[in-house]
Amino acid sequence: MDTTVGIGLLGAGTIGGTLIRRLVQEHDAIATKTGLDLQVRRVAVRDPAKRRAFDLPAELLTSDPAAVVADPAVQLIVEVMGGQTPAGDLVLSALRAGKPVVTANKALIAARGPELIAAAEESGVSLLFEAAVGGGIPIIRPLSETLAGEQVERVVGIVNGTTNFILTKMAEEGADYATALAEAQELGYAEPDPTADVSGADAADKAAILASLAFGTWVGPDQVYHEGIENLSAEDLAYAAELGYVVKLLAFAVRTPAGVSARVHPAMLPADHPLATIRGATNAIFIEGPSIGELLFAGPGAGGEPTATAVLGDVIDAARELLAGAQVAPRIQFSPSALVDFGDITTKWYVRLEVADRPGVLSRIAGEFGRADVSIKSVRQEGEGEGAVLLIVTHRAPEVRQRAAVQSLHDLDEVRSVGAVIRVESAEA
């Protein structure tokens, strides 16, 4: 039996270049372990003349990605070019041509997942995207296959290594945001334009995918509320530590009686929570369910080597199915479900205020929270006189009421500024 599978790559940057190098250098070891003869046949790149870290004959490189998809010598497509255009249409063309596709493109899967999954099923081929959410962490298969029979209740994750690195630097070394970001860029953890990472948009794409797979109802990225870390200060992270918390940018996918909720924002976690110990550029995803209890998946979530490992695993699976000629059954069915507006979710808030240190200030502030029907759990004052700071932690209340209370503080003469607002994750009310 011929076990050769011709592979075409769309993109050869950090992930694609690492994958090509491994397919070439580790070809014999992969063949021995899997019985597959994986051959790189065509690679689409922006500049075929550019010097690269992998060694391939020049005739295998092309600047025309459509030519890779159409090449009869290519049976399997790997899309690692990123973005939705032209990647989405290229992936769709490959699937409709009966060629399985492996991708690490979270933005594409989040935005066009249902369309692409339907095309794969119609053609009886695979669309695999293990690397799209957790890099080297296996999470797509556990959610869509191993836990398919579990009524998952909650998925919470640190799914962006850039922001976790920045927050770790700020919390442990007292670095300001700009300094921590610059170091992340210098080390290659952050892009020259880090907006997608630090704004929470990257994590929102991943939260959409996690929610869709966990609950069997497709959640689009535009249905995921997100905030980033740009307004956090080392001061707030230090205050959080004094209160017994660690601040992380978290992606949430939660099943509620009213429907599914998906969101991304900074959150204060109790210091003994499993996710609170995740440092640096590491990613981690925490899953809760009635039968499994709690599961934690952790590991490197970014970088060429970890992500290429996940892509390679998908390539091997897709190649096996291709050679077996199997009709690939849909790994999970999606059905409509109500999506809960974030304003209706109950949350706890930490609010830092710079205030005038004079009698009656606290009662005025407490009155604004009371008018919004938000109860205050604790108040702590730092400093005196012109440097007075109030740290307020509320009890749980609907998000919309918390926002209304804090918004009203801007109009008080006694409040000089409303600093950071961070949601607090804890079991108590």
Burial class of 176 by CB neighbour count within 10 A (0 to 12, 13 to 18, 19+): middle
90 CB-near residues (< 8 Å, 6+ apart)? 10, 65, 66, 69, 77, 79
- Give residue-wise pLDDT tens across range 245-266: 999 999 999 999 999 999 999 9
Q: What is the H or E stretch that residue 206 is in?
A: helix 201-215
Give the residue carrying structure tokens 């997608």. Answer: 196
Query: In this structure, what is the dihedral angle of CA atoms 103, 108, 109, 115, given to the nearest 10 degrees?
Result: -110
- Give residue-wise pLDDT tens across range 371-387: 999 999 999 998 877 77
Do residues 286 and 319 share a domain?
A: no
- Give residue-wise pLDDT tens across range 99-115: 999 999 999 999 999 99
Do residues 103 and 229 share a domain?
A: no
DSSP letter at 146 equals I
Do residues 83 and 102 share a domain?
A: yes
Q: Looking at the domain assignment, is residue 216 inside a domain?
A: yes
Which residues pair with residue 299 across a beta bridge? 283
Do residues 129 and 186 share a domain?
A: no
What distance, in Å, lies between the first and last C-alpha atoms of the chain? 63
pLDDT confidence tier of residue 330, bands split at 50, 70 and 90: low
Q: Report d(CA 13, CA 46) in Å as an integer.
A: 10
Which residues pair with residue 4 across a beta bridge? 37
pLDDT surpasses 90 at 244:
yes
pLDDT surpasses 70 at 428:
no
pLDDT surpasses 70 at 327:
no
Looking at the chain, the whole-number percentage of residues with pLDDT higher than 90 is 84
Q: Looking at the domain assignment, is residue 231 inside a domain?
A: yes
- Give residue-wise pLDDT tens across range 53-87: 888 899 999 999 999 999 999 999 999 999 999 99
Active site residues: 206
Measured between alpha carbons, how far is residue 160 from residues 106, 133, 229, 283, 320 in Å?
12, 9, 12, 7, 31
Do residues 414 and 356 share a domain?
A: yes
Do residues 162 and 186 share a domain?
A: yes
Give residue 23's pLDDT.
96
Q: Report d(CA 326, CA 104) in Å as an integer.
A: 23
What's the average model confidence in pLDDT over 122-148? 92
Measured between alpha carbons, how far is residue 419 from residues 43, 291, 383 in Å?
49, 41, 15
- Give residue-wise pLDDT tens across range 390-422: 999 999 999 999 999 999 999 999 999 998 899
Given a contact cutoff of 8 angstroms between Cβ atoms, the answer to whether 134 and 161 are in contact is: no
The enclosing domain of 118 has a CATH number of: 3.40.50.720
Do residues 316 and 287 share a domain?
A: no
pTM comes to 0.93
Q: Which residue segment(s) compose the domain that 233 sits in?
A: 151-300
Do residues 244 and 350 share a domain?
A: no
Give residue 51's pLDDT.
87
DSSP letter at 396 equals P
Q: DSSP states of 169-186 as a string?
A: HHHHH---HHHHHHHHHH
pLDDT confidence tier of residue 359, bands split at 50, 70 and 90: confident
- Give residue-wise pLDDT tens across range 186-222: 988 888 999 999 999 999 999 999 999 999 999 999 9
Do residues 23 and 106 share a domain?
A: yes
Q: Looking at the domain assignment, is residue 331 inside a domain?
A: no
Q: How many domains are contained in the chain?
A: 3
Do residues 241 and 157 share a domain?
A: yes
Measured between alpha carbons, how far is residue 249 from residues 25, 56, 104, 168, 325 in Å?
37, 40, 21, 11, 43
Q: Mapping DSSP to helix (H, G, I), strand (E, B) and coil, where does residue 238 land?
A: helix
Summary mean pLDDT of the chain: 93
The enclosing domain of 398 has a CATH number of: 3.30.70.260
Give residue 429's pLDDT.
41
Q: Looking at the domain assignment, is residue 332 inside a domain?
A: no
Closest alpha carbon to 56 in 7, 5, 100, 105: 7
Q: Looking at the domain assignment, is residue 308 inside a domain?
A: yes
Structure tokens at 387: 């440097």
The enclosing domain of 273 has a CATH number of: 3.30.360.10
- Please give the sequence-ordered ranges of beta strands (E in DSSP) within 344-410, or none if there are none: 346-355, 376-382, 389-394, 397-398
38 CB-near residues (< 8 Å, 6+ apart)? 5, 7, 23, 27, 30, 31, 315, 316, 319
